[in-house]
Amino acid sequence: MNEKEFFHELGKCIYQIDGIYEEYGRNFHITSPNILWILYSLNDNQSHSQKEICEEWSIPRSTANTIIKELERQQLISLQKIKGKRRELNISLTKKGKEIADTLLKDLYSREKKAYLTIQEPEKILNILKDLKEKLKIISKGDEQ
């Protein structure tokens, strides 16, 4: 296998995995996979800023902003000012949002656990993917390293 074949297969796997999560969300009437990922990220009982979510999940700011406004309108999240930051807000699930996220994600977490238990050396795989991500940052920067 050469590098072109490797990245071709890797890309297919990444998009197929993303498609699995997207289909899961559609089964629960989630209209955008980004909504699922935002709820997923917020369902750890921590507050997160929009900037943090966008950076960690590679969600465009405008997309996240639209979703966050909608989740706030539905009273699923609350926004709190971050002391010392002019424009950044902490986002956290409301009680209603937590109930909905728990219901939506309970089955997903169970399915992820089943898959996880079948993986040999999951930490090693994750470390390899994180290392690959760091090495591939040259693609977006456009410079050789």
Domain ranges for the chain: 35-141
Spatial contact of 117 and 110, defined as CB atoms under 8 Å apart = no
35-141: in CATH 1.10.490.10? no
- Helix, strand, coil fractions of the chain, as percent rounded to 5: 70, 10, 25
pTM beyond cutoff 0.85: no
* 98-130: pLDDT as tens digits: 999 999 999 999 999 999 999 999 999 999 999
- Asked if pLDDT for residue 76 goes beyond 90, the answer is yes
Eight-state DSSP code of residue 30: -
- Asked if pLDDT for residue 144 goes beyond 70, the answer is no
- Asked if pLDDT for residue 145 goes beyond 70, the answer is no
pLDDT of residue 128: 96
Burial degree of 51 (CB within 10 A; 0-12, 13-18, 19+): middle
